[in-house]
Chains A and B, each alone.
Chain A
Amino acid sequence: MNSPSVKTPFRKLLIANRGEIAVRIIRACQELNLPVALAASEADMNSPAARLADEVICVGPGPASESYLRQDKIVAAGREVGADAIHPGYGFLSENADFAEASEEAGITFVGPPSSVIRLLGDKIRAKNLMAESGVPVMPGYTGENQADDHLLLEAENIGMPVLIKASAGGGGRGMRVVREIDQFLPELAEARREAVAAFGDARVLLEKYVERSRHIEVQIFGDSHGNVVHLFERECSIQRRHQKIIEESPSPVLTPEVRQQITSAAVTAGRAAGYQNAGTVEFLFDESLSGDHKFYFLEVNTRLQVEHPVTEMLTGIDLVKLQLKVASGEPIGLEQSQIGATGHALEVRIYAEDPARQFLPSIGDLACWVEPQGPWIRVDSGIKAGGEVSPYYDPMLAKLIVRGENRSDTIHRMISALKQFHVLGVTTNIGYLLDIVSDEVFQSGQISTQFLAERFADWKNPTEPPVEVLIAAALASMERTATPSRGAKSPTKSTDNPWSDASGWRLLAGTKS
């Protein structure tokens, strides 16, 4: 059988990102036979993504503000390599309406929603008002134009404590403050405004009722330029440390088929209301304790491909990056809602170079060892390899480990096994922490909330005593080192000097005492 001819949606794609997501996008381009150029900083010129791309163009020094965040340099790079499309990945310029506009003006298709949609949904006040008008459930609160201090104070009193102050231009947990006592409202408001102006140049805030324990459930949507909007089911991302998701799964263990129907159709309604195109994620706050019709409220729309998109790919079998490119080229999605199914369970964990026992302090260094787990339904998206360097310039996420199983319990056990096969040396990682979370009985019961880590893992430490296997391995390694140099290089008894080099039945007895 001849392989079906793959239609290349573009002439050449420029990737304006780095790390694992750059590698992920390159793989989709390779399957589509689409030439790909990578815009890379000086620090990333030898990264795995740079080696995979057809061409690499340097867009500036290591710090993101001098490279990956420089719209002018990236658009110029697109022109220089003759790209007719730019994929922004996530983070950096991916949700920057000005960048999307600048790309379009340069005649380069931005792989994402139109700039007007990014601008609309990036303004939380406008987005929330639009959703409320369209019948999407929104959290009670204040999204008015009157931003005077005394008026906001009055609104906060009406909402009742605790109340959440959100920067209208904020996102991803930035520019948010919880107020628990009304007399703290004005000082907190002043702080929130200062943050909002510094980070986003926009002092406007909205107020919301704050829910202490809730779940984060989001719905993947896709829209095209022909007016179609579909959903690709939900992901639950309640396991967060400091507003940062670290574990995501689908389906959510809490959704019944009825509520799943409600939340996914609310997401499609939200997408239609915004005129959404390309891949997007509608985030909801889910509160189980609520009685009545709605247990979920609209939070925001992320107008980009999400870090956790592989969870959806594993369940639906749909390649989201390829679909993004198809839709960006003007084609329809080509799938009816009824043709999109999800089977089994998928779980993703994010591997970070950080120390969970020391306030998640980032860890930087050379990777002495990087061995990824393998096996059926195990996927690793990484942008790093053994011998590579974890540099201080960027987010410390090294990789994502995604597994799929028949059901949640099967999937969790596959994840435990995969984490045990992940070997990283040279930097501290959160692998042991993730292993303990997925092994935790409350996590396994599915009774999770965004407070889960703060409540159960705040004082987490690695186990103190090394197991016997580790002691023996360390003892052998210490002998290997001391034996070889001290006896001289000319010694012919190499195999006994180096216990590791003799693969045939080198036998030892090890006793330990402390």
Chain B
Amino acid sequence: MKTQLIYNGKELELDVSLGSGQLPDGSTHQADVSAESNGLRTLTVDGRRVTLAISSNSSAIEVSYEGRTYKFDRPSVGKSRSGKAKTGSLQTPMPGIVSAVMVAEGDHVEVYAPLMVVEAMKVMATLEAPFAGVIKKLHASKGSQVKQGETLVEMEPLTPTEERS
């Protein structure tokens, strides 16, 4: 069975088959799942036993192995990765606490106007308006704790574009 993953922006296709099987390319490895305990998984790969930790959700898989963490993205289902600017949905680039909110819902703002500031341990990230428009929805208020990638502000352009549905 084939499965797709994205690592560092690069798509990987992995072919994992139950039982014995032949794989087209040269890189073929035999693995046994041996045990699971304490949040850890044990795999035997080509005769070598290794311990890993795995955490997964609908969009990503993280693997901890020998002191390093590897993050894989799952191919997104029907959701465009680009076009954030035009839909006006602004995400926080880092987790933290909303330390300032400069706008209210319904406000008209210029392009690059600061909308919200997220702060974490002395580091500040300011969300700016990607275009001139109207604040449609605020998803956080001053003092809110936010996770990385969480949508905080939704905007729409002053003149609706063809992309609006």
The distance from the CB of B106 to the nearest CB of chain A, in whole angstroms, is 29
Q: Is A442 an interface residue (CB 8 A)?
A: no
Cβ contact within 8 Å between A479 and B3: yes
Chain A positions 357 through 389: 1 when the CB is less than 8 Å from some CB of chain B, otherwise 0: 000011111001101000000000000001000
A158 to B43, CA, bound (A): 66
Specify which chain B residues have a CB less than 8 angstroms from the CB of A479 in the assembled complex. Answer: 1, 3, 16
The distance from the CB of B28 to the nearest CB of chain A, in whole angstroms, is 5
Tell me the A440-483 residues at the B interface (CB within 8 Å): 462-464, 466-482
Cβ contact within 8 Å between A368 and B62: yes
Cβ contact within 8 Å between A365 and B148: yes
Cβ contact within 8 Å between A512 and B27: yes
Q: Is B141 an interface residue (CB 8 A)?
A: no
Cβ contact within 8 Å between B121 and A512: no
A103 to B10, CA, bound (A): 59
User: A499 and B33 in contact (CB under 8 A), knowing A361-B123, A466-B63?
Assistant: yes
The 6 nearest A-B residue pairs measured at CB:
A511-B23, A368-B55, A423-B53, A364-B95, A475-B14, A425-B55
Q: Is A392 an interface residue (CB 8 A)?
A: yes
Cβ contact within 8 Å between B97 and A392: yes
A300 to B123, CA, bound (A): 29
Cβ contact within 8 Å between B53 and A369: yes
Q: Is B45 an interface residue (CB 8 A)?
A: yes
Chain A positions 494 through 514: 1 when the CB is less than 8 Å from some CB of chain B, otherwise 0: 001001111101111111111
A510 to B34, CA, bound (A): 16
Specify which of B10, B31, B58 is in contact with A514 (CB 8 Å cutoff).
B10
- Segment at the B interface, from A191-199, A255-263, A429-437: A429-437
- Segment at the A interface, from B68-76, B80-88, B108-116, B157-165: B68-76
Specify which of A432, A480, A496 is in contact with B18 (CB 8 Å cutoff).
A496
User: A464 and B64 in contact (CB under 8 A), knowing A505-B32, A510-B28?
Assistant: no
Tell me the B1-29 residues at the A interface (CB within 8 Å): 1, 3-5, 7-8, 10-25, 27-29
A396 to B121, CA, bound (A): 8
Q: Is A244 an interface residue (CB 8 A)?
A: no
Where the two chains meet, the residues of A that have a C-beta atom closer than 8 Å to any C-beta of B are 361-365, 368-369, 371, 386, 391-392, 395-396, 419-426, 428-429, 431-432, 434-435, 462-464, 466-482, 496, 499-503, 505-514
Cβ contact within 8 Å between B61 and A478: yes
**Could you tell me the dominant secondary structure of chain B's interface residues?**
strand
A34 to B46, CA, bound (A): 53
Cβ contact within 8 Å between A513 and B53: no
Specify which chain A residues have a CB less than 8 angstroms from the CB of B121 in the assembled complex. Answer: 362, 392, 395-396
Specify which chain B residues have a CB less than 8 angstroms from the CB of A435 in the assembled complex. Answer: 67-68
Specify which chain B residues have a CB less than 8 angstroms from the CB of A392 in the assembled complex. Answer: 95-97, 119-121, 145
Specify which of A369, A396, A432, A503 is in contact with B33 (CB 8 Å cutoff).
A503
Which residue of chain B has its CB nearest to the CB of A505?
A: B32
A396 to B120, CA, bound (A): 10
A476 to B50, CA, bound (A): 15
Q: Is B104 an interface residue (CB 8 A)?
A: no
Tell me the B131-148 residues at the A interface (CB within 8 Å): 145, 147-148
Q: Is B78 an interface residue (CB 8 A)?
A: no
The distance from the CB of A352 to the nearest CB of chain B, in whole angstroms, is 11
Cβ contact within 8 Å between A508 and B56: no
Specify which of A386, A425, A434, A509 is in contact with B64 (CB 8 Å cutoff).
A425
A424 to B39, CA, bound (A): 11
The distance from the CB of A443 to the nearest CB of chain B, in whole angstroms, is 15
A512 to B33, CA, bound (A): 18
The distance from the CB of B9 to the nearest CB of chain A, in whole angstroms, is 11
Cβ contact within 8 Å between A509 and B16: yes
Specify which chain B residues have a CB less than 8 angstroms from the CB of A466 in the assembled complex. Answer: 7, 63, 70
Cβ contact within 8 Å between A422 and B120: no
A369 to B40, CA, bound (A): 9
Which residue of chain A has its CB nearest to the CB of B3?
A: A478
Specify which chain B residues have a CB less than 8 angstroms from the CB of A473 in the assembled complex. Answer: 41, 43, 52, 54, 63, 65
User: A472 and B123 in contact (CB under 8 A), knowing A466-B7, A513-B13?
Assistant: no
The distance from the CB of B55 to the nearest CB of chain A, in whole angstroms, is 4
Cβ contact within 8 Å between A510 and B7: no
A479 to B55, CA, bound (A): 13
Q: Is B35 an interface residue (CB 8 A)?
A: yes
The distance from the CB of B14 to the nearest CB of chain A, in whole angstroms, is 4
A462 to B41, CA, bound (A): 22
Cβ contact within 8 Å between A509 and B3: no
Specify which chain B residues have a CB less than 8 angstroms from the CB of A419 in the assembled complex. Answer: 67
Which residue of chain B has its CB nearest to the CB of A513?
A: B25
**8 extra interchain contacts, Cβ-Cβ under 8 A, other than A391-B145, A508-B30?**
A361-B94, A423-B64, A425-B62, A466-B63, A466-B70, A468-B46, A500-B36, A510-B31
Specify which chain B residues have a CB less than 8 angstroms from the CB of A470 in the assembled complex. Answer: 52, 63, 65, 70
